[in-house]
Amino acid sequence: MNKLKMASEKSASRVLMLLSQLERLNEEPKVSDNDAIRQTTGKILHLIQTQEKTRKEVASKSSGGMEIILSSLENTQDLQTTLNILAILNELLTVGGGCRTGVFVSKGGTALLLQLLVGSSKDPPANEELMLHIHSLLVKVGLKDRKLGVKARLNGALNVTLNLVKYNLQNHKLLLPCLQVLRVYSSNLVNAVSLGKSGTLEIMFEIIGPFSKKSTTLLKVALDTLASLLKSGMNARRAVDRGYLPTLLTIYQDWHRNDTRHRHVVIRKSILGCIKNLTNIKLGRKAFIDANGMRILYNTSTECLPVRTLDPLVNTSSLIMRKCFPKNRLPLPTIKSVFHHPLLHIPASGPVAKLYNQPPGVDDVVDESDENEATEVDTENDTEYDEDETGPKTQNDDIETDINKLRPIQMNTRPFDELRAYEYFFREFSENFELHRPIIIPTTPSSLGPQNRRPPQEDLLTPKPDESPLELDSISISKRPEGTSDPDLVCSLGRLVLDDEGGEQAVLEVPDTAALLPLHDPDLYLEMVKSTRSVPAYTEVGYPDYFGHVALNLREPILERVYGVQRMKIFQDIERLIHPSDILDKVVYDLDNQSCPVTDNGESLKFNSKFESGNLRKAIQVRKFEYDLILNSDINSNHYHQWFYFEVGNMRPGVRYRFNIINCEKSNSQFNYGMQVLMYSVQDAINGSPHWVRTGSDICYYKNHFSRSSIAAGGQKGKSYFTLTFTVTFQHKDDVCYFAYHYPYTYSMLKMHLQKLSALRTAQIYYRQDDLCVTLGGNSCPLLTITAMPGSSSNDPISQFRSRPVVFLSARVHPGETNSSWVMKGTLEYLMSCSPQAQSLRESYIFKIIPMLNPDGVINGNHRCSLSGEDLNRQWQNPNAELHPTIYHAKSLLQYLRATGRTPLVFCDYHGHSRKKNVFMYGCSIKETVWQTNVNTSTCDLHEDLGYRTLPKLLSQMAPAFSLSSCSFVVERSKEATARVVVWREIGVQRSYTMESTLCGCDQGKYKGLQIGTSELEEMGAQFCLALLRLKRFTSRLERHNHNSHLLDMETDLIETRSIPNITSPTTYVLEEDEPAFLEEVDYSAESNDEIDPDLEPDLQDNHAPQTPILTQKSG
């Protein structure tokens, strides 16, 4: 042992001795020293080859060995010495990880090697051993030195290596390291272009074809080099011109056939990698189609499907096929909404102006410009790509950084005289309540109270006895024309024409939901529908709205995503191209062509959506049990497709039907994360189960091959639509079923609920309904005032009444967010209930509520806009009285309140969120916004009351669906015209919120793992009320103490703010979407290089990705 140690120490010191000897020789070079240097380096090489310890010694920083060796390399003219040194370096860099290579690179080794390479190539033939050593070293350097490619080009080394490859095709010993170096060179785009011009593509094809299982390592390197080269558009064009695409397909097929034991999956994948890059250009996609590539990849993939280890091949093939799938035109005459509502005033600019100014005859469904290649970059002009220089992308660029825009606006923007008109809506503040008998507050409209209910519907539903079997068709009503007095309701249920004279027996049992649905009454609903004005002048009523929906008493779990669903669906889509004869392409429903009746052989489903909130535009039977569906655009708009509500009939039970909504626009959806569509079966309803039920299997959401014109995509070219696909098996024959994006809640339903709610009024409840204004579509916008009656009409109770703080609530500015209406229903029911807390709450506040800010949008099946074609929640800064009446008057109410010193304590606008789970709030805080922008916090030692955090905190303690960690109090630039931000800044409401409810479900709390239903949403609305009651305890101290330090102490305790000063980002900055981008997603457009590289994530393509929020920082 001691002997060994001694020996090793001896040898270590020997190598150090040799190094210092070498160093001396470097310092005083003499020609006669050549032999000495040769000998010394030879000895060092021998020691290094035999003892790892010596390597460590040489490579160690303290010995300075690397510098000495490099310096010798630089100085020597002697071939043998050079070879010795290169061999030493090769030995050194082979082991010890990248660390030694890093030292080598940092001491300028790369440039030295390249100079040596270029220098020795000047007098051919080059020494083979020398070339071998240099390239072996360069391969190692390539792993560490990201700039090797650039350095090689600048030193003129690219062609030296290329020529070596060219002339040594049979000399595999030298060929392999040279090719490996070439692979490194080609990863730089400029190099790729230069190498392409020098004929590298042709050489690579000599290496990779024809098929042979010999020297697969070489083959793999050549394929990878080729794939890199083909990333340049110029090289790709050259390759297509030379007919290389069919060659690659043939080679791929050969490998597919011969690699029966799947030992060469990496090679097969590399071939696909080349095809993938080649098809980034349009010419390549065309060549692929011409070479029958679709069928070849489809067939090979189908054969690969059963073997899970071949998934990377299937996924890459699928990616190529999707990319090459010819882009289709949506089968529509125009993307503008089928229905049009003429506007009196067209805004001067913006989307609506654009739409109106579009010349007639313009095809807005596709772009001519999509057809040219102008957007494809010419790589001749590619600039140097340098990864080091691309800084981290700023994700927070939407955060408001202008401190002046974060400060409240001090002045009153409108003269009070103008606001005086709104006194009418605040009559409670001037009433004397002098009457001692029960006070009846007039409520408009009051034509139909509970006292004059229609007779039970059994009398109405009077079919002829011999009519069987029962056929369900739509309910339709004949509306009373203006000014006439004929109130008759004609209710048609299939052949059952309902009129008042009928004396027949009832066959259709209307489910008795009265006990379960106290606010629902089918007759009253029909009555309400009659006064609802829709742009298409609907005369039919959806059964679910008529019968009502009773919340399902059943857990509906968030769906687990099944492996391979999206891939399977995409393959089915590709089959349309492979087997075109299987495709029916039969239009079975078409709003654009209503005059042309759809021929029906009984083999197709029947579709309908001509009822309130319905919005199906077209249905095409693609295969026997598969339908493509197209949604209508929002009225006076050419996009916003997400909400859907339609009816299906004539189904066969027990058959799997596939539905594809093919013109969705959002890039991702909760449908990829376990959300199901909603279905309502009329047969089930009649049989006592009137429920909307979460349904559908094989659900996924992905980019499709229907191109989206730039007109509809905000000017962006080359965009595609997305498909939501789901599969349903119907249970009953002769059923009529409805599908919806979320639980429908129509405007007529709101009117019915309000009518019913007003009937719940007691002597203690002050409930008043006013019409805030009339909408563009001629519907009234209800405004509710709810509070408690004063204890008596004497002075004290009246003054207590008048001093109650105002709570201002609104909902459903976005029609597609029906969940917000269900939450509002929960709030309203709670406010009208007779529990002691409800009474206490009414005694605490005066509630001003606009339950539906966008009635027209709701009625007409819009997703986002009002009839003006605009998003009303972007109009709060400067609402136009004519174009945005509900917003204009709602804001005026708030301005009136501010002007009269009654600025609301709380403002909350209820919304729905399509891409996140749980219920959460957005609020406004200067401090938290400033924190997020990383602006020096000293610029913002503003005093800010933390009271805005109280209500969300209370809700998180009380409401199971509510998640505090999803809340955000950051003010974004893009939201500056929303209700929340404007009411905060201009009206001065500190507690101004948007409350977002998920459309999908919860991932925390009591409802974790479940999809959300109406009872959870209604519960949320009730819990909101209870939280307000708790909030009162904090805020009433403010009144009593008349200064807010105590209140602040209380709130500080509650919201645990002690941690805030220690962290820079106390709140979540919520990006629009907190789900990860779906990994199967593929970008079709050749122009875009942002597709997810399947090489990186071969196995994740179909997994249910973990739902960790992106870039969110949790507080505390």
**What residues make contact with Zn ion under the rule CB under 5 A?**
814, 817, 911
**Least distance from Zn ion to the Cβ atom of residue 910, Å:** 9
Minimum CB separation from Zn ion for residue 400, in Å? Answer: 20
Q: Are 132 and 177 in contact (CB under 8 A)?
A: yes
Number of H helices, E strands in the chain: 38, 22
Nearer to Zn ion, 180 or 997 (CB): 997
What is the C-alpha separation between 872 and 695, in angstroms, rounded?
32
Minimum Å gap between C-beta 281 and Zn ion is 40
User: Shortest Cβ distance from residue 420 to Zn ion (Å)?
Assistant: 32
996 tagged catalytic: yes
**Is 955 within 8 Å of 965 (Cβ atoms)?**
no
- Rounded to the nearest whole angstrom, what is the least distance from the CB of residue 574 to Zn ion in the complex? 36
**Which residues on adjacent β-strands are paired with residue 491?**
498
Angstrom distance (rounded) from CA 619 to CA 640: 18
Ordered DSSP codes for 303-340: HHTT-GGGHHHHHHHHHHHHHHSPPBPPS-S-SS-SS-
CB 280 to Zn ion: min, Å = 37
How many angstroms separate the CA atoms of 565 and 673, rounded?
A: 12
Kindly tell me which of 70 and 971 has the beta carbon lying closer to Zn ion: 971
Smallest separation, CB 814 to Zn ion (Å): 4
DSSP string, 435-481: --SPP----S--SS-GGGPPPPGGGT----TT--S-----EE-PPPP
Q: Whose Cβ is closer to Zn ion: residue 735's or residue 817's?
A: 817
In this structure, what are the phi and psi dihedrals at residue 217, rounded to the nearest 5 degrees? -60, -45
Smallest gap from Cβ 1070 to Zn ion, in A, equals 14
CA-closest candidate to residue 221, choices 165, 164, 267: 267
- Looking at residue 718, the DSSP 8-state letter turns out to be S
Write out the two tokens for 173: 């010993």
Which letter does DSSP use for residue 972 in this model? B
Q: With H, G, I as helix, E, B as strand and everything else as coil, classify residue 719.
A: strand
How far is residue 788's CA from residue 839's CA, in Å, rounded to a whole number? 7
Give min distance, CB of 415 to Zn ion, in A.
Answer: 32
- Can you give the three-state secondary structure of 150-184, one letter per residue? HHHHHCCCHHHHHHHHHHCCCCHHHHHHHHHHHHH
In the set 829, 996, 1073, 1075, the catalytic residue is: 996
Residues 6+ apart with CB under 8 A from 589: 598, 606, 607, 608, 616, 618, 619
Of 1073 and 1083, CB closest to Zn ion? 1073
Q: Tokens representing 649?
A: 């009939």
Residue 660 dihedral angles phi and psi, to the nearest 5°: -125, 115
Find residue 788's DSSP bridge partners: 765
Task: Classify residue 733 by its DSSP letter.
Answer: T
How many whole angstroms separate alpha carbon 6 and alpha carbon 986? 85
State how far the Cα of 869 lies from the Cα of 856, in Å rounded to an integer. Answer: 11
Looking up tokens 């240099």 gives: 134
DSSP lists the bridge partners of residue 729 as 656
CB of 824 to Zn ion, least distance (A): 13
Distances (CA, A) of 588 to 337, 598, 610, 679, 735: 19, 6, 15, 20, 18
What span, in angstroms and rounded, lies between the C-alpha atoms of 770 and 982?
24
Give me 601's structure tokens: 């052989």
Q: CB 817 → Zn ion: shortest distance, Å?
A: 5
The number of residues in the chain equals 1116
What's the min distance (Å) between Cβ of 816 and Zn ion? 8
* DSSP structural state of residue 959: -
SS3 for 787-855, per residue? EECCCCCCHHHHHHHHCCCEEEEEECCCCCCHHHHHHHHHHHHHHCCCCHHHHHHHHHCEEEEECCCCH
**Is residue 1011 within 8 Å of residue 1000, measured between CB atoms?**
yes
C-beta of 698 vs 871, nearer to Zn ion: 871
Smallest distance, Å, CB 326 to Zn ion?
Answer: 36
Degrees to nearest 5, angle at CA 811 with 809 and 813? 130
Measured at the alpha carbon of residue 895, what is the angle toward residues 768 and 444, in degrees to the nearest 5?
Answer: 20
Q: Do 839 and 931 meet the contact criterion of CB atoms below 8 Å apart?
A: no
CA distance 197 to 82: 33
One-letter amino acid of 128: E
Closer residue to Zn ion in complex, CB, 848/911: 911
Measured from the CB atom, the residue of 817 and 1073 that comes closer to Zn ion is: 817
Beta carbons within 10 angstroms of residue 249's beta carbon = 20
Give the rounded distance of the alpha carbon of 617 from its chain centre. Answer: 24
Which residues are the active-site residues?
Answer: 996
